[in-house]
Chains A and B, each alone.
Chain A
Amino acid sequence: MKVGVVTFPGSLDDTDAQRAVRIGGNEAVALWHGDADLHGVDAVVLPGGFSYGDYLRCGAISRFAPVMGEVVEAARRGMPVLGICNGFQILCESHLLPGALIRNDHRRFVCRDQLLRIENNRTPWTSAYEPGQEIRIVLKNGEGGFVADAETLARIEGEGQVLARYLEVNPNGSMNDIAGITNERGNVVGLMPHPEHSVETLTGSGTDGLGFFTSLAAAVLS
């Protein structure tokens, strides 16, 4: 599968995401925020970083980047889209995912190896995991607190849209320990921790993040 990785001004995990896509068995295609063209990709990753300097709100300005018009349209048609960290924030600002992300409740930037539980493995990004599987991947964020109003929170819990939950510690004050969510259709996924940094033993504490990138290949084969 051809997986596009968008580079915004301020993206910093785009090349890691491209590498993770390749290690996961797919072809990585670099996409540029100013180019309103997805170049025939089958899926899109919005990587971590500080798009447009996080001015205004994280992801608020990048939501209106030319490429995002195409991403939003493709996502509505069912294309798999994964937003990691800043990418998660962009997906919330784009209204492709419910809720919003605010500054960590303890107000500090946090960087740690984080234990998660995969709650929903029925998405194109998590099918390689078992339901309830616990994985440890890198987490680093300053505005990673997931919030939503009570009605939205009840709906995403009830519909199984919680993708992953923090275990051991809640690193940022996210409601219901939510680390990642998916949309109603299940093709759009937002995740605050960084699976793309946990795909090789050489540079990470493990390879538990690889499943996010091998799931796509499995989805094609099945």
Chain B
Amino acid sequence: MARVVVAVMPKPEILDPQGKAVQGALPRLGFSGVTDVRQGKRFEIEFDGEITDAVLAEVDEMAETLLSNPVIENYTVTVEASETAGESGR
């Protein structure tokens, strides 16, 4: 099984009220030094076989047509290594 990750972020010039809300909460919790927070979306898309260029082209099309709105958002597509090699999250 292979995984492709599509990360969608609001364009820099677009107001991000959700990111602003998070940014406002951080100092209240004692986290200082944060100058900006932007909130986006992460899609983990699983495939059975290998991730070929054709698969990536298809993911790109998915990202362009449905996963993001190109008017207000940018996206990146990355192939994630199989299994969890050195994941730092919990």
Contact = CB atoms under 8 A, between A and B. Distances in A.
Interface of A: 56-57, 60-61, 64, 92-93, 98-100, 102-107, 145, 147-149, 173
Contact of B17 (A60, A100, A103, A148): A103
Given A56-B67, A99-B71, A105 B14 contact: no
Contact of B15 (A64, A93, A105, A149): A105
A56 B15 contact: no
A102 B16 CA distance: 8
Among B10, B13, B20, B71, find the residue whose CB has the most chain A CB atoms closer than 10 A. Answer: B71
Given A92-B71, A147-B72, A103 B18 contact: yes
Contacts of A93: 69
Interface of B: 10, 13-15, 17-18, 20-21, 66-67, 69, 71-72
A141 to B, nearest CB: 13
A102 B15 contact: yes
A100 B67 contact: no
22 contacts: A56-B66, A92-B71, A93-B69, A98-B71, A99-B71, A100-B69, A100-B72, A102-B10, A102-B14, A102-B72, A104-B17, A105-B17, A106-B17, A107-B17, A107-B18, A107-B20, A147-B15, A147-B71, A147-B72, A148-B71, A149-B71, A173-B15
A125 B66 CA distance: 29
Nearest to A93: B69
Contacts of A64: 66
Among B17, B66, B67, find the residue whose CB has the most chain A CB atoms closer than 10 A. Answer: B17
Among B15, B67, B69, B72, find the residue whose CB has the most chain A CB atoms closer than 10 A. Answer: B69
